[in-house]
Copies of this chain bind each other. A is one copy, B any other.
Amino acid sequence: MKLSTKARYASRALVDLALQYGKDPVKLKDISARQDISLKYLEQVMYPLRVCGYVKTQKGSKGGYILARSPKEVTLLEIVECVEGSISPVECADNPKLCKRADCCSTHLAWVGLKDAIVRELGKITLADLAGKHLLLNK
């Protein structure tokens, strides 16, 4: 039940971008330095976030990344699911047809409940929340 480093790095990178929201594009090199994440790896982490529309990019000199949506509108749930795929702890919670026992299996119900709890928790945390907390912790 571990979160991948990709999901953790993506979350930290987007909080970093949220703190610069409305300003000039942010170079990955800078995020890489601030967050202690390899630039080359960070590039790969950002890729799906751009495809999903969470960030926009500008190439070349003076280029970089900017948040494509308001920090208030982006939740951790979206970020994690964009990078990792479904947050569901078991395949059958997303698609009961994958398991022939799903309709008579009491643990199936429990895993669905677990998934719902995770979705509720991550779905209520926005980048704006995290950016605000960051400012509190680092003032």
Contact = CB atoms under 8 A, between A and B. Distances in A.
Q: Chain A: interface secondary structure?
A: helix
A135 to B, nearest CB: 9
* Copies of the chain in the assembly: 2
A24 interface: no
Contacts of A138: 104
Interface string A1-13: 1110000100110
B89 A106 contact: no
A1 B91 CA distance: 11
A28 interface: no
Interface of A: 1-3, 8, 11-12, 15, 36, 76, 80, 84, 87-90, 101, 103-107, 109-111, 113-114, 117-118, 120-122, 125, 129-134, 137-138
17 contacts: A1-B1, A1-B84, A2-B90, A3-B90, A8-B107, A11-B107, A12-B107, A15-B106, A36-B101, A104-B138, A105-B137, A106-B129, A113-B125, A114-B118, A114-B121, A117-B120, A118-B118
